[in-house]
Chains A and B, each alone.
Chain A
Amino acid sequence: MSKYKISRRDFLKYSGASLFLAGIPLPGFTKDKPPGNISVILLEGGMDGLTAVPPFGDPNLTTMRKTITPKDFLKLNSFFGLHPSLPNFSRLMAKNNASVVHATSFPYIRRSHFEGQNLMEGGGLSPFAEKTGWLGRALEIANLPGKALSLEMPLILRGYNKNDNFYPASINKSSVLNSTLISKIAMAHNKDEAEIFTKLSKKNSQRTITARDPISLAKYAGKEMSKENGPISSVIRIGQFDTHANQVSDDGYDKNGDHAKRLEIVDDVISGYREGLGDAWNRSIILTLTEFGRTVAVNGTRGTEHGYGSAGLLAGGTISNSRVIADWPGLSKNEQFEKRDLMATIDYRSVCAACIERSLGIDHDRIASEVFFTPKLPRVYDYIFS
């Protein structure tokens, strides 16, 4: 099939990302400022942990994935490597400011994007069980209202009725909106809609960013979060990890595959955060989230299918000791989940809980029961932050 020129690659440069900022302290409302801040990068479509962080020490990797494993990976230790499209992340690891959690997942095994994404954002016990998101609930416990910067309100941040969003509009010839008019409109509406219009009538319509590319969004988010009364949390959404075809490029270059190009965006976003956060980097944690990993075996179209276990990338000045945290399950057929996927041996909710604990200063048991509804959720804090 390599004789056919596939044009799909062309679109990657067009596709953007979206940013949500949340947890903005209100003067006189928040008593104690939390110890840190937390940012989530949502990787939609199913990030392939075996591509991002190839376990080259596992002999089955090359036998099962010869054609799609990066050749020029960077060595992290004697067992794990890092995809060459993650150079900034690699530098942060060298500085002891980044870690990887591998063979991990939310406890979701049914391989549907839509159920999986709902679960990774909702953080409930089953897909579509929750109308609020785990980060929204955590911010609520920390008493931090906030706003999201995007056109829609992502599930992960819902839960707080004071949440709000904004995203720079660019509508020709629309006049400056007058707040009296908007409050009149608000008064005619019912509760939910009225609240939204009321907030619009009060807001400062000044726009601070115009660029919508992922790096600019991350820099902007970092900068906002570094401010004295800035948001405590941000979420960036990056799509299209769902590489059923052309996960790698037919020209043989590791960095030209569809998955590599998405990883490059993740890498840029992390370095954008680093730059924007400035000194606030030292109290920050950034973590990636994906709905599932991908099959160990390659499919017929140089891609992979929906799987189970994946990897999580963590970065921030709150990490002081870089490592790859894994209880490696192995890649042989019998070690795979249902003889097809990387097994998950770490519940990723524990990783999220540790990041909440570090940044928002909430007790683990409270996070386990009130944010994830799982009182016995294992605590992995020490593996990440000690």
Chain B
Amino acid sequence: MNEQFRVAQKIGLMFRPEIKLPKDIKDWAISQLHSDSTALGISTKNEKVKPWPESMQPDLEKRARLWRLYRENRKKERERIDGQELASAKQANRQNNLMREKDEMKFAHRNVYGNDQIRMRFMSFWANHFTIGNTFDNESLIGHAMEEAILANLNGSFSEMLYKVTTHPGMLIYLDNIWSAGEESRQTIDCRKNVDCQSGLNDNLGRELLELHTVSPNAGYSETDIRQTAKVLAGWGAYFDMPLSEMKEMAGTTNHWDVYKQRYAEPGNKKVLGKVIGVGKGGLRQLIDHLASHENTVLHLSTKLCHHFVSDNPQKKDIDYVANSWRQSNGDLDQIHSAVIDRAINSKDEKFQWPMTWLFQILRLSNATYIKGWEDLYNYDNQLMDVEKIFEELGQSFWSTRQPDGYSSKKEEWLSGEMFERRLRFASAIYNVGLPKTSPEQIMERIGANITTRNLVESAGKTRRVRFIALMCSPELMGLNSV
């Protein structure tokens, strides 16, 4: 593969046919960190690529309003009121008020049609790092967190991204923080007077904040550190259909991303990993700043970034290079990501691509139309599968119910007959119904395919269909070295 495509495969999503290849690939990649692309997509199969309609990208407040409506209708459905139990009413409720399917399609479109491929890859890396699994009471929030907590903070500091993700209602709901109350909080003290009342600490988010999101077990923290972290977090968050009046009363805000309920907060200073954290809402910011710049966080995340973008077995010098840029820039993501790009280009090691990344890449390369348009989101199509179903069959989705440690970047975790068969089948389906506009020969020419790939395609047969499948499942297009 030529250098432009090798790099675009490793850290990007490949160049669409209409794009002129950049001369200096590293300059291009780093400048891509600031590429300004709105969400692009298609309205229906035969339409031109254009920006996603504003009406399908509501802000958090609007999402909360829709979510309340959705929940009310679900309640009516169970109680069989207003005909809400009818199939048409249920369908309308989902279409009008639920964001999950719209967000999934938008994510797929952005990846297939966007002009910001490097940003998309880093967004996916961080969305996976900060996994927000679908608990079905945060399903309208996952897409919002990816775009507004992660993508919108991609050019700032790690600390800021960490703060925005930790306080995002999607995360606070997913890791059970919304009801956590300090043991000495007003809420818990009042509660003790009442026999049936339960109130106290929940350490789920506190534990994962340390273990997965920042310092990792290598920091040697104790159970006490985890409890103290949970105490800093106590009071943060609310369920997404909490009435605004109630939220105003409890947290003095109507912004779901800024909910700190004084009644649930633990009084007094806390101490995490030796650092004294002050009382009140500002405590979390102090804790996050401390964790974000902690040496164990720097090492943990520099290694994880290298595993994802550089090599399954990155060299120590690569990890050091990224870690140094982290230290020198005080956790500036532009600097960190630039260092990752530098190492990824420098290293000639193969990087096996995730199923979803591979899918986006082959759709871009072949200029196939395999993702429905937004106007067809809820229309049955006997050719094109729903986006949600595509992700399910790929075995990878940011909207699935899963554990907070996310998907592995290592090849060995993805080696299975079934996973490989899915690739063959998707390549075949994309050819059959996605109607690629670029031929296998044109693709090979443009990417500078290696001899193994050319021989494979040649030996596969005469029909364009088998040549297409062979190319898409070649080691080269899966991110692998060949024999």
In the assembled complex, A211 has its CB within 8 A of some CB on chain B: no
Give Cα A300–Cα B189 distance, bound, in whole angstroms: 12
B239 and A301: CB pair below 8 A? no
List residues of chain A with CB within 8 A of the CB of B383.
172-173
User: What are 18 residue pairs bridging A and B, where the CB atoms are less than 8 Å apart in the complex?
Assistant: A1-B199, A7-B136, A111-B223, A112-B207, A113-B403, A114-B212, A147-B417, A148-B416, A152-B414, A173-B432, A184-B456, A188-B452, A193-B480, A244-B176, A244-B203, A301-B179, A301-B198, A340-B223
Give Cα A44–Cα B403 distance, bound, in whole angstroms: 9
A153 and B416: CB pair below 8 A? yes
* Contact residues of B between 436 and 467, Cβ < 8 Å to A: 452-453, 455-456, 459-461, 465-466
* Contact residues of A between 171 and 223, Cβ < 8 Å to B: 171-175, 177-178, 181-182, 184-185, 187-190, 192-194, 196-197, 199-200, 203
A169 and B200: CB pair below 8 A? no
Give Cα A67–Cα B198 distance, bound, in whole angstroms: 9
B425 and A171: CB pair below 8 A? yes
B456 and A245: CB pair below 8 A? no
Which of A9-17, A310-318, A324-332 is near enough to bind chain B? Answer: A9-17
List residues of chain B with CB within 8 A of the CB of A171.
385, 393, 422, 425-426, 429
* Contact residues of B between 94 and 123, Cβ < 8 Å to A: none
Given A175-B428, A193-B480; A188-B474 close (CB under 8 Å): yes
A1 to B, closest residue via Cβ: B179
In the assembled complex, A71 has its CB within 8 A of some CB on chain B: no
Give Cα A330–Cα B481 distance, bound, in whole angstroms: 57
In the assembled complex, A110 has its CB within 8 A of some CB on chain B: yes
Which of A51-59, A79-87, A159-167 is near enough to bind chain B? Answer: A159-167
Give Cα A192–Cα B389 distance, bound, in whole angstroms: 28
In the assembled complex, B421 has its CB within 8 A of some CB on chain A: yes
A200 and B420: CB pair below 8 A? yes
* Minimum distance in angstroms from B371 CB to a CB of chain A: 13
A306 to B, closest residue via Cβ: B207
* Minimum distance in angstroms from A230 CB to a CB of chain B: 18
In the assembled complex, B280 has its CB within 8 A of some CB on chain A: no
In the assembled complex, B415 has its CB within 8 A of some CB on chain A: yes
A172 and B433: CB pair below 8 A? yes
In the assembled complex, B201 has its CB within 8 A of some CB on chain A: yes
* Minimum distance in angstroms from B136 CB to a CB of chain A: 3
List residues of chain A with CB within 8 A of the CB of B478.
193
A152 and B395: CB pair below 8 A? yes
B393's contact among A169, A188, A239, by CB below 8 Å, is which?
A: A169
List residues of chain A with CB within 8 A of the CB of B137.
6-8, 10-11
A305 and B203: CB pair below 8 A? yes
A184's contact among B405, B459, B481, by CB below 8 Å, is which?
A: B459
Q: Please encode chain B, from 225 to 254, with 1 for each CB lying within 8 Å of some chain A CB and 0 for all others.
A: 000000000000001011000000000000
Give Cα A51–Cα B308 distance, bound, in whole angstroms: 40
List residues of chain A with CB within 8 A of the CB of B404.
113
A11 and B134: CB pair below 8 A? yes
List residues of chain B with CB within 8 A of the CB of A44.
403
In the assembled complex, B339 has its CB within 8 A of some CB on chain A: no
- Besides A1-B199, A166-B418, 8 more A-B contacts (Cβ < 8 Å) are A11-B134, A11-B135, A150-B418, A173-B428, A173-B432, A185-B474, A188-B456, A300-B179
Give Cα A190–Cα B483 distance, bound, in whole angstroms: 5
List residues of chain B with CB within 8 A of the CB of A8.
135-137
Give Cα A143–Cα B478 distance, bound, in whole angstroms: 33
In the assembled complex, A303 has its CB within 8 A of some CB on chain B: yes
Question: Could you say which of A174, A178, A182 has the most chain B C-beta atoms within 10 Å of its C-beta?
Answer: A174
In the assembled complex, B482 has its CB within 8 A of some CB on chain A: yes
In the assembled complex, B469 has its CB within 8 A of some CB on chain A: yes
In the assembled complex, B17 has its CB within 8 A of some CB on chain A: no
Given A6-B239, A110-B217, A245-B202; A196-B416 close (CB under 8 Å): yes
* Contact residues of A between 306 and 362, Cβ < 8 Å to B: 306, 338, 340
Give Cα A240–Cα B417 distance, bound, in whole angstroms: 26
In the assembled complex, A26 has its CB within 8 A of some CB on chain B: no
Given A2-B197, A164-B417; A10-B482 close (CB under 8 Å): no
List residues of chain A with CB within 8 A of the CB of B347.
none
Given A113-B403, A300-B179; A174-B217 close (CB under 8 Å): no
7 tightest A-B contacts by CB? A300-B200, A11-B136, A174-B425, A151-B395, A174-B429, A188-B456, A301-B179
B424 and A188: CB pair below 8 A? no
List residues of chain A with CB within 8 A of the CB of B212.
114
Give Cα A6–Cα B181 distance, bound, in whole angstroms: 16
Give Cα A348–Cα B180 distance, bound, in whole angstroms: 33
B212 to A, closest residue via Cβ: A114
In the assembled complex, B71 has its CB within 8 A of some CB on chain A: yes
List residues of chain B with CB within 8 A of the CB of A199.
417
A154 to B, closest residue via Cβ: B416
B181 to A, closest residue via Cβ: A300
Question: Could you say which of A7, A15, A199 has the most chain B C-beta atoms within 10 Å of its C-beta?
Answer: A7
* Minimum distance in angstroms from B230 CB to a CB of chain A: 9
In the assembled complex, B475 has its CB within 8 A of some CB on chain A: yes
List residues of chain B with CB within 8 A of the CB of A302.
198
List residues of chain B with CB within 8 A of the CB of A115.
217
In the assembled complex, A386 has its CB within 8 A of some CB on chain B: no
B180's contact among A7, A114, A170, A300, by CB below 8 Å, is which?
A: A300
List residues of chain B with CB within 8 A of the CB of A150.
418
Give Cα A172–Cα B370 distance, bound, in whole angstroms: 11
B417's contact among A67, A188, A200, by CB below 8 Å, is which?
A: A200
In the assembled complex, B382 has its CB within 8 A of some CB on chain A: yes
